[in-house]
A = this chain, B = another copy of it.
């Protein structure tokens, strides 16, 4: 068996990925931009461990729970790998409530693990990127979470986005007004989300099979299909039914509050979509989805909403804690950036000092040192070898510039610079090295 193992080339687990230098560099640049955008809005970073007591995570994810990586550790504890970033946040918040600023505005970017069906193109390890505000009911906290995510996406170069928003209280209020029971509402809300992908007829039929009467569906669709843009539209649409039940009034108030705050924050491309529900049961107010109109097939690249019960329940606090959050689907966003021609890739960067003559090693190393002092990434090729090999090395690493110093250059105190993007080369005086390298790398 040991022999057999030694002969097997180790493999990556199905559904897991390596990130080589190219992908990793691109991801780091992207994540740095997202982090900076979140921090501009006053969100601060935090991190929780990869493992939690299984008990902390169980009962929080419904039927999906079976996808959790769970096991007993060597000490007999039932543990589970992080399944999302929100339930650990609840545990963290419950343990530190008194020392944290209130509201607590945090962001968190990290991998989560789910034993997904890989046939569907899903990964078993993927990054989540969440921004949340815990402890405030203010519409400003809703609007800011949306604005921070919109700013992050804009900073990545995406110009055309559509921000769809709705309010769960309003949805609940409409359903209650139409006489749909709370039990039926859960099914209806899930079916509403399908209106995006399926013809109205199909969804209508499914609602009827779920026990909703035809005239209830008709009235519901009457609302869902209304074109609504600003807070005025929302108010006028519901003006006559505002007191039908408390949910409608509250929902309209919250939705308009968020819309107005988003306007003050100069967030563009916001549309109200009364059919937007977002299946998850835990939303209690705002729901939001960001889509790319140019790439409808991608679905939403970010989404979230208000969830005023989850933190208190999952954190075992025995009281509701208001919370709102948005999450960016990093993998989907990267794929979208790629398709839009906005992916950073591995930018051409840095300098390779060719290693042509052993006698000049000290010179090569001195040049690399001077470049590094000027904060220019630079390295000397490892051994004297043919120019071809050294060029190929530079190409594989996407290095921007070659510095070539041979006998001739040394004698004349010159340095040859070869721009590896334009393929042009020129000789410069050794004392002007830094200046010339900087101008080539610009």
Contacts and interface: CB of A to CB of B under 8 A. Distances in A.
Interface of A: 2, 5-13, 16-21, 24-25, 28, 35, 39-42, 44-53, 55-56, 58-59, 66-67, 69, 71-75, 77, 79, 81, 90-92, 94-96, 100-103, 105-106, 111, 113, 115, 124-125, 136, 138, 140-141, 144, 151, 261, 264-266, 313-318, 350, 352, 361-362, 365-366, 368-369, 372, 375-380, 382-383, 393, 396-397, 399
Closest 5 CB pairs of A and B: A42-B379, A71-B71, A21-B44, A101-B396, A16-B49
A61 B6 CA distance: 15
Given A42-B399, A105-B379, 20 more contacts: A2-B59, A5-B55, A9-B316, A10-B53, A12-B49, A13-B49, A18-B48, A20-B92, A24-B45, A25-B44, A41-B377, A51-B113, A71-B72, A138-B382, A138-B383, A140-B365, A151-B372, A261-B361, A264-B362, A265-B365
A115 B11 contact: no
A317 B124 CA distance: 27
A401 to B, nearest CB: 12
A380 B20 contact: no
B46 A19 contact: yes
Nearest to A352: B42
Contact of A140 (B9, B20, B79, B380): B380
A25 B95 CA distance: 20
A68 to B, nearest CB: 9
A222 B72 CA distance: 52
Interface of chain A, main secondary structure: mixed
Contacts of A96: 18, 20
A396 B19 contact: no
16 contacts: A7-B318, A10-B94, A11-B53, A16-B51, A18-B49, A18-B96, A24-B45, A25-B45, A28-B45, A39-B350, A39-B377, A40-B376, A41-B372, A41-B377, A42-B399, A136-B382
A226 to B, nearest CB: 28
Contacts of A314: 10
A10 B106 contact: no
Contacts of A20: 46, 92, 96, 100
A69 B73 contact: yes
A396 B99 CA distance: 8
Contact of A24 (B10, B16, B44, B101): B44
Contacts of A59: 2, 5
A113 B53 CA distance: 15
Contacts of A13: 49, 51-53, 77, 79
A77 B316 CA distance: 34
B396 A12 contact: no
Given A18-B92, A264-B362, A377 B42 contact: yes
A5 B35 CA distance: 35
Nearest to A355: B140
B50 A113 contact: yes
Contacts of A317: 9
A399 to B, nearest CB: 8
Nearest to A5: B55
A350 B39 CA distance: 9
Contacts of A39: 350, 377
Q: Which of A50, A66, A138 has the most CB of B within 10 A?
A: A50
Q: Which of A47, A67, A136, A393 has the most CB of B within 10 A?
A: A47
A100 B24 CA distance: 14
A317 B6 CA distance: 9
B74 A10 contact: no
Contact of A7 (B94, B316, B368): B316
Contact of A41 (B5, B313, B379, B393): B379
A6 B313 CA distance: 8
Contacts of A396: 100-101
